[in-house]
Amino acid sequence: MPALIQCHLFMSSARSSVTPEKLIRPEILALHAYHVPPASGMIKLDAMENPYLLPQALRDEIARLVADAQINRYPDAGAHQLKADIRKVTNLPAGMEVLLGNGSDEIIQLLAMAVDKPGATILSVEPSFVMYKMIATFIGMNYVGVPLAQDFSLDLPAMLEAIKREQPALVFLAYPNNPTGNLFDADAIKQIIQAAPGLVVVDEAYYAFARDSFIPHLAQYENLLVMRTFSKLGMAGLRLGFLAGSTAWLAQLEKLRLPYNVGVLPQLVAAKLLEHHDVLLAQADSIKQERTKLLAALSAISGVQTYPSEANFILLRVAKATQIFEGLKQRGVLIKNLNGGHPALADCLRVTVGTPEENQTFVAALQDTINQLA
């Protein structure tokens, strides 16, 4: 055998002995991948999407825009038009900037990477959005989750104590919280911002369905940043989130952002949709009205405990949650089973508010499943 081929064979056999188990960090090996269940043909009420399509005239306008888009070119790395539109629709206070992410998930990752000094800690509450902890694990940061009170409100003394003890570089507070749906007490959050030695990120993913926001307070606290996503407002498929705050912080974070993280098509389509922000807000209003009706219908079912919501989903507690979740699936309705995820969420389910028809089908399927299991 020629020496060159022999050498090549030797090298490839040496390479094949490198297994993922040997190379990948143990905390990554121990992780379970974020599971997105198949939903084809189902009534999809598991992911807090807006159930409404856009009006036909607007869809036609978008089709024309997309047809003319220069997808042979890289996107505008600074996304100037889109950022200007975002500043306008959010009434951003003077002196504040925005940073765009490929969904707000990417912004959480970027924030974590920026403060990832040896020993640095991310702190949040539990139960809350699982990505805060997952991203801390991805990049090898410490994570501390402070339990919420029994009614899912903030346990302020426990938070202040944990902040003093852990000195977190980053605190994430989802406002409203996912998966509980409630809005934390704004004064408690202000105390946390004042006590925190690092950044506090108020995650307003569900802002369109809530009655309050921290954007007007941005100028008041130098360690406050507000993060939002357009995913829940009808643009989940575009993948677009943003972080608002002072240029002092955002200029540093911009250095970590990959230059073309928001593509040509998301930039174009989101800018067009923000021109029609009123259409999206009207859809959010319908969702809020449906939320009230759904909450009433669920509360009327015996054996179902509901929690108040300022988001586009409702948390409920039932007996035999996993069996009910499976029963709903068999009846063509996909929601989120939270049972087994966190002790405080034992027997909990989370349902996204859908169209009136979807909600009616869900309530009937729930009633039917409960009757069958009784």
| Nearest approach, Cβ of residue 266 and ligand PMP (Å) | 12
At 277, phi and psi to the nearest 5?
-55, -35
Shortest distance, CB of residue 372 to ligand PMP, whole angstroms? 31
Residue window 142-181: x/- pattern of binding to ligand PMP, with contact defined by CB under 6 A:
--------------------------------x---x---
Q: Which of 85, 97, 105, 358 binds ligand PMP (CB under 6 A)?
A: 105
Q: Are strands 121-126 and 142-147 parallel, antiparallel or unpaired?
A: parallel
Is the omega angle on the peptide bond into residue 157 within 30 degrees of 0, that is, cis?
no
Question: Cα(287)–Cα(290) distance, rounded to whole angstroms?
Answer: 5
Name which of 280 and 365 has its Cβ closer to ligand PMP: 280
Q: Which C-beta is closer to ligand PMP: that of 233 or that of 370? A: 233
Give the nearest distance from C-beta 210 to ligand PMP in angstroms. 12
Q: How far is it, in rounded angstroms, from Cα 134 to Cα 132?
A: 6
Give 190-240 as a DSSP string: HHHHHH-SSEEEEE-TTGGGSS--SGGGGGG-TTEEEEEESGGGTTGGG--
- 350: helix, coil or strand? strand
3-state SS track over 285-312:
HHHHHHHHHHHHHHHCCCCCEECCCCCC
283 binds ligand PMP (CB under 6 A): no
Contact letters for ligand PMP, residues 198-237 (x by CB under 6 A): -----x-x-----------------------x-x------
Q: Do 336 and 179 meet the contact criterion of CB atoms below 8 Å apart?
A: yes
CB atoms within 10 A of CB 345: 21
Taking the least distance from each CB to ligand PMP, the nearer of 61 and 126 is 126
Nearest-approach distance from CB 301 to ligand PMP, in angstroms: 26
Q: Is 123 or 174 the residue whose CB approaches ligand PMP more closely?
A: 174
H or E segment at 164? helix 156-166
* 241 near ligand PMP, rule: CB under 6 A: yes
Query: Phi/psi of residue 50, each to 5°?
Result: -75, 125
Q: 334 - beta bridge partners?
A: 44
Work out how close the CB of 114 gets to ligand PMP at its nearest, in angstroms, rounded to a whole number: 17
Q: CA gyration radius for the chain?
A: 23
Among 110, 129, 156, 359, binds ligand PMP (CB under 6 A): 129
Site string for ligand PMP, 53-92 (x = CB under 6 A): ----------------------------------------
**Binding-residue total with ligand PMP (CB under 6 A):** 12
Considering the complex, what minimum distance in angstroms separates the CB of residue 27 from ligand PMP?
22
Distance CA 173, CA 192 (A): 10
Residue in 93, 83, 94 with CA at minimum distance from that of residue 257: 83
Distance CA 153, CA 122 (A): 20
In whole angstroms, the minimum distance from the beta carbon of 128 to ligand PMP comes to 7
Among 31-39, 99-107, 243-251, 298-306, the segment contacting ligand PMP (CB under 6 A):
99-107
109 binds ligand PMP (CB under 6 A): no
Q: Which is nearer to ligand PMP, 49 or 327 (CB)?
A: 49
Judged by the rule CB under 6 A, the positions of this chain that interact with ligand PMP are 48, 103-105, 129, 174, 178, 203, 205, 229, 231, 241
